[in-house]
Amino acid sequence: MKSSPDTDPHRRPRREPVIQFRDVGKKYGSLEVLKSVSLRVDRGEVYGFLGRNGAGKSTAIKMLLGITSATSGTIEMFGQAISENVVATRQRVGYVAQEQHFYPWMSPLQLGKFVHGMYPRWQQQQYLQLLDLFELPAKRKIGNFSGGMKARLALSLAVATGPECLILDEPTAGMDPVARREFLDLVSREARQTEATVFFSTHLIDEIESIADRIAIIESGKTVYEGGLQTLSKLIASYSIDESLYQAGSVPGECVYQGSWCLQKGVRDGKWFMIFEYEREAPVDPVLNPGWQQDSMTLEDTFVALVARTN
């Protein structure tokens, strides 16, 4: 699916890009992890980077952080190639990894002092406020923290560096629902107040549904969608018919010929279903053949349809 014009009401005007992937590929020997990833993240955006586990999201983030390099294509941050000055670029970036690794004998206060010297824009008062907000005991050894507490500590550190860009790689793993909501609210608030760019990688669309300006979806190492969430919801439509009424080769109606192609079809819960992707927009009130009906779809349903296409 190509990038689509965004109609989301809270979409920000396009600004200078902070992150750009241009036809990026990555191979480890004969294993091709990324084939063709292209996306653009503008300054001040909260940008959701979606894909199921194994789609290549973490590899893309490693390239953003300068841990590994692209095999093909180009990646830029802040208007220059990642390879030009990795250290200076990292000082402008806050990062929360999928798994947290801290010195277990340190306390959050000791960890803050340790990290402070690496970031010229470190904000000690904000760090202490975040520890308090997340109910993290400042003097307890981190080795006694739960996984959720470590994730909240990682976010506190990342935000306190005063980042121009905050990169989050599946950051809510191990959090309970309350902590998860607090985490997402904080990310949203910080982005709006400081105009920091947020690049949020996840396989759960509900995590970024309420906070993202735009998203990219990757599958099998390729970008399959870039644009707004509302736009995405208008491009996919699902139709179904009772299995007893279905005849081989039958289709929902003329609506399927209006610049669309089938993403999925099959039998589910006693019904034949067909899910179509439209080049522009699915018909709002289509005329359907007898027995067929249009089904409601959540954004999660739409995401699943795109990444689990059968043809």
Task: Give mean pLDDT, residues 132-136.
Answer: 88
- Helix/strand/coil for 27: strand
Q: With bands split at pLDDT 50, 70 and 90, how would you rate the model's confidence at 120?
A: confident
What does the pLDDT read at residue 174? 66
How high is the pLDDT of residue 85? 78
* pLDDT over threshold 90, residue 4: no
Query: What is the per-residue pLDDT for 2?
Result: 45
pLDDT band at 10 (very low <50, low <70, confident <90, very high): very low
pLDDT in tens, 47-98: 999 988 888 898 999 999 989 999 999 999 998 888 777 888 888 898 988 7
Question: CA-to-CA distance for 284 and 64, rounded, in angstroms?
Answer: 40
pLDDT in tens, 144-153: 998 878 888 9
pLDDT, one tens digit per residue, over 163-182 is 899 999 988 776 777 778 87
Cα(122)–Cα(99) distance, integer angstroms: 23
pLDDT, tens digit (0-9, with 9 covering 90-100), for 172-210: 776 777 778 877 887 888 777 777 899 999 888 888 887
Contact criterion met (CB below 8 Å) for 225 and 270: no
Q: What is the Cα Rg of the chain in Å?
A: 22
DSSP per position, 141-193: -GGG--HHHHHHHHHHHHHHT--SEEEEESTTTT--HHHHHHHHHHHHHHHHH
Tell me the average pLDDT of the chain: 86
Q: Which of 66, 67, 82 lies closest to 22, judged by CA? A: 82
Do 142 and 104 touch, CB atoms closer than 8 A? yes
Q: Report which of residues 299 and 2 the model is more confident about.
A: 299
Q: What is the pLDDT of residue 18?
A: 94
| Predicted confidence band of residue 311 (pLDDT cuts 50, 70, 90) | very low
Residue holding tokens 């959540």?
298
**pLDDT tens sequence across 24-36:** 999 998 899 999 9
CA–CA dist 36, 90 (Å, integer): 25
Cβ distance 200 to 216 under 8 Å? no
Report, at the CATH architecture level, how domain 17-227 is classified: 3-Layer(aba) Sandwich (3.40)
Q: Where are the domains of the chain?
A: 17-227, 232-307
- Taking the C-alpha atoms of residue 215 and residue 213, their distance in angstroms, rounded to an integer, is 7
Q: Residue 73: what pLDDT?
A: 93
Residue 295: per-residue pLDDT: 94
